[in-house]
Amino acid sequence: MLYDLNIAWSPTTTPSDLERTLRFAKTLGYDVVALNHTVTAPIPNTPTPIRNPLPLLNPPKPLVSPSSAPSNPSLPTTLRRVTLTITDPSTTNYRLLDYTRAYDLLALRPTTDKAFAWACSSTTEPPGLISLDLTSLLSFHIHHRTAMTAVHRGTRFEICYAQALSPNIDARARATFIGNVLSLLRATKGRGIVVSSEAKGSLELRGPADVVNLLAVWGLGPEKGAEAMGSGARAVVVNEGVKRRGFRGVVDIIKPAEEGEEAKRTRQEEVEKGKLEAKEKGKKQKGGNQAQGLGAKRKGEEGNGGASGSGTMSKRLAKKMKKDAMQAAGGA
């Protein structure tokens, strides 16, 4: 399965444009996508409930019952994601749990050195993604130890290729993007990377093969590039799902898969065949026991008749002896 965990969304996005983008993503081969709502600083400090403005389109079955939201095969499975732009982490840490409950995926976009270090190692719960604006000059250096701390905690770094392919950026911003990508790959050694599009429309989407070739030019090998859109992105979705559905974010109870009609028919035939074999085996065992008992009885009778003084005399032998005695008495 292929994943694109960043389809840009804003309140001005019309439903027709959004549906067109999702249909085109499904045509390109993406099975799971995430609509991204970016929240810029400052994040409100008031403990008000977080409202999720993203539309609920073709959600995965664990998040909603199939009867209330039927799946649409022409659209990919759609998740709802929020990206928080972090400048001062002291005013954001305690609000992460509220955003985690309201959205399916949580991503952080730090803009300062202090915010980047906090996002990598000091959050109350590790975020699913750290997404950087790679088209702008970063005010901090991506150190290997800091980046690998985030990777070991289960956080992935996101590269959005549409930032470099958008027609609205100039050559300088595109060169800055490539330099930041090389710096990120050098710090992580290609581990813990997730590739998304951050496309604002269908024209900014690219096929998986084109993205892998583009990443190979930027320094990420084809195998790791394919993994960044496959198993790496899937790990983020699974981990975030366990945090929301599981017991304390560790144990997840899922419904076992239902058997198909053919599997049920095969299992029923095996049960009936086992019952028939057991019945035939019981008949053979019963007949053998009866034959064995009859043979033992005959053998006992013959043994009693041939040996004198061993056990009770049989009626046949007593009758014969009585007849012989009467013949002997008559002859005398």
Span 274-329, pLDDT tens digits: 888 888 877 777 666 666 665 555 555 555 544 444 456 788 888 888 888 888 88
- Our CA angle for 233, 214, 198, nearest 5°, is 50
Q: At 240, give phi and psi (nearest 5°).
A: -65, -35
3-state secondary structure of 131: strand
Cα–Cα dist 191/109, whole Å? 19
**Predicted confidence band of residue 33 (pLDDT cuts 50, 70, 90):** very high
Cα–Cα dist 197/160, whole Å? 5
Question: What type of residue sits at position 139?
Answer: S
pTM equals 0.70
Look at the block and give the residue holding tokens 């595109």: 174
Q: Residue 298's pLDDT is what?
A: 58
- Residue-wise DSSP of 9-56: E-TT--HHHHHHHHHHHHHHT--EEEEEEEEPSPPP-S-PPPP--S--
Cα–Cα dist 114/133, whole Å? 16
Helix or strand (DSSP H, E) at 158: strand 156-160
Q: Residue 70's pLDDT is what?
A: 47
What are the residues facing 34 on neighbouring strands?
Answer: 79
Cα–Cα dist 318/331, whole Å? 20
- What is the mean pLDDT of the segment spanning 28-57? 82
Asked if pLDDT for residue 251 goes beyond 70, the answer is no
Pairing of strands 77-86, 32-39: parallel
- What is the mean pLDDT of the segment spanning 223-232? 92
